[in-house]
A and B are shown apart, each in its own frame.
Chain A
Amino acid sequence: MIKNISNLGDAAVYCDFGAEVSEKINSNVINYFNHLTNLINENKIEGINNLTPSYNKLIISFDLTVTNFSKIKDIIQNINVTNNSKKNNKKIEIPICCDEEYSFDFDRLSKRLNLTKDEILKLYLDKEYFCYMTGFIAGMPFLGDLNKKIRCDRLQTPRVKVPKGSVGITEQFTNIYTYESPGGWNIIGNTPKKIFQKLNLKEPALIKPGYKISFYEISKKEYLKFND
Chain B
Amino acid sequence: MTDTYFEILRPGINTTIQDTGRNNLYHIGITISGVIDQRNYKLANNLVNNKLTEAVIEFAHQGPLLKLKNGKINFAITGDIFFNVIRNNSEIEEGKCYQNYILYEGEQLDIISTKKSVYGYLSVRGGFKLEKVWKSYSINTKAEIGPNNGKKYSINEKIIIKKSIKENTEIKKINYKNSFNNIIRVIKGTNFDYFSNEAKNIFFNKKFSITRLADRMGMRLDGPNLENIVNTNIKSEGLVRGVIQVPADGKPIILLSDHGTIGGYPKIAIVISADLDKLGQLTPGTDINFKEVSLEEAEHIFKAYNEETNKYINESN
Partners in one complex: yes
A interface residues (Cβ-Cβ under 8 A, vs B): 6-12, 14, 19, 21, 33, 40, 49-59, 61, 64-65, 68-69, 133-140, 142, 153-158, 160, 170-171, 173, 178-182, 184, 196, 198, 201, 204-205
The answer to whether B299 touches A9 (Cβ under 8 A) is: no
Q: Are B28 and A138 touching (Cβ within 8 A)?
A: yes
B29:A59 contact, CB within 8 angstroms: no
Residues of B within 8 A of A33 (CB): 27
Chain A interface main SS type: loop
- For the complex, count residues of B whose C-beta is within 8 A of A: 52
Minimum CB distance partner of B249 in chain A = A157
Provide the residues of chain B in CB contact with A11, threshold 8 Å. Answer: 240, 242, 273
Chain B residues whose C-beta falls within 8 Å of the C-beta of A56 in the assembled complex: 235, 237
Query: Chain B nearest CB: distance from A138 CB in Å?
Result: 4
B143–A179 contact, CB under 8 A?
yes
Contact B25 A8 (CB under 8 A): no
List CB contacts (< 8 Å) of B206-236 with chain A. 213, 217, 232-233, 235-236
Q: Is B180 in contact with chain A by the CB < 8 A criterion? A: no
Given contacts A10-B298, A50-B26, A136 and B263 within 8 Å (CB-CB): yes
Q: Which residues of B contact A6 (CB under 8 A)?
A: 190
CB distance from B260 to the nearest CB of A (A): 4
User: Are B243 and A9 touching (Cβ within 8 A)?
Assistant: yes
| Min CB–CB distance A25 → chain B (angstroms) | 10
Cross-interface CB contact of A153 among B29, B133, B232, cutoff 8 Å: B232
Let me know if A198 and B302 touch, CB within 8 A: no
Additional pairs, 17, CB under 8 Å, beyond known A9-B298, A184-B247: A6-B190, A11-B240, A12-B238, A12-B240, A50-B26, A50-B27, A54-B236, A55-B237, A64-B273, A135-B236, A135-B262, A138-B143, A139-B28, A170-B233, A170-B264, A181-B260, A196-B29
Taking the complex as formed, is B187 at the interface, i.e. its CB lies under 8 A from any CB of chain A?
Answer: yes
CB neighbours of B272 from chain A (8 A): 9-10
Task: Specify the main secondary structure of chain B where it touches its partner.
Answer: loop
Residues of A with C-beta under 8 A to B265: 184
- Whether, in the assembled complex, B261 has its beta carbon less than 8 Å from a beta carbon of chain A, the answer is yes
The complex places the Cα of A156 from the Cα of B225 at a distance, in Å, of 13
Is residue B267 contacting chain A, with contact meaning CB distance below 8 A? yes
B interface list, Cβ under 8 A from A:
23-32, 133-134, 142-145, 150, 187, 189-190, 213, 217, 232-233, 235-240, 242-243, 247-249, 251, 260-265, 267, 270-273, 295, 298-299, 302, 306
Q: Can you report 10 residue pairs joining A to B where beta carbons are below 8 Å apart?
A: A12-B270, A52-B26, A52-B27, A59-B239, A64-B273, A137-B260, A153-B248, A170-B264, A184-B264, A205-B28
| Cα-based distance from A56 to B187 in the complex (angstroms) | 22
Chain B residue with Cβ nearest A60: B238
Contact A136 B261, beta carbon cutoff 8 Å: yes
CA distance A61 to B24 in the complex (A): 10
Which of chain B's residues have a CB closer than 8 A to the CB of A182? 217, 260
Q: Which B residues are CB-close (under 8 A) to A184? A: 247, 264-265
Contacts of A156 in B (CB 8 A): 247-249
A59 CB contact (under 8 Å) in B30, B217, B240: B240
Instruction: Give which listed residue, A52, A158, A160, contacts B261 with CB less than 8 A.
Output: A52
Contact B24 A10 (CB under 8 A): no
With A55-B237, A139-B28 in contact, is A8–B267 under 8 Å at CB?
A: yes
What's the minimum C-beta distance from B83 to chain A, rounded to whole angstroms? 30
> Which residues of the other chain, A, contact B32 by a CB distance below 8 angstroms?
49-50
A7 to B295 Cα, complex, angstroms: 8
Separation in Å of the A203 CB from the closest CB of chain B?
10
| A154, B248: Cβ atoms closer than 8 Å | yes
| CB closest residue in chain B, given A55 | B235
Residues of A within 8 A of B236 (CB): 54-55, 133, 135-136, 142, 173
Contact of A61 with B29 in the complex, beta carbons under 8 Å: no
What's the Cα separation between A180 and B150 when bound, in Å?
14
A68-B299, A205-B28 known; A9 vs B187 contact (CB < 8 Å): yes
Q: Is the CB of B237 within 8 A of A54?
A: yes
Asked if B25 and A50 sit within 8 Å, CB to CB, the answer is: yes
Q: A9-B271, A54-B238, A136-B262 are known contacts. Are A154 and B247 too (CB-CB below 8 A)? A: yes
Residue of A nearest to B260 (CB): A136
CA distance A157 to B252 in the complex (A): 11
**Nearest opposing residue in chain A for B144, CB measure:** A198
Q: Which residues of B contact A54 (CB under 8 A)?
A: 235-238, 262
The residue of chain B having its C-beta at the shortest distance from the C-beta of A65 within the complex is: B306
The interface centre, meaning the residue of B232, B240, B247, B267 with most chain A CB atoms within 10 A of its CB, is: B240
Task: Kindly list chain A residues whose C-beta atoms are within 8 Å of the C-beta of B143.
Answer: 137-138, 179, 198
Within the complex, the shortest CB–CB distance from B140 to chain A, in Å, comes to: 8
Cβ–Cβ < 8 Å partners of A134 in chain B: 27-29
A156 to chain B, nearest CB (A): 5
Question: B247 — which chain A residues lie within 8 A by C-beta?
Answer: 154, 156-158, 184
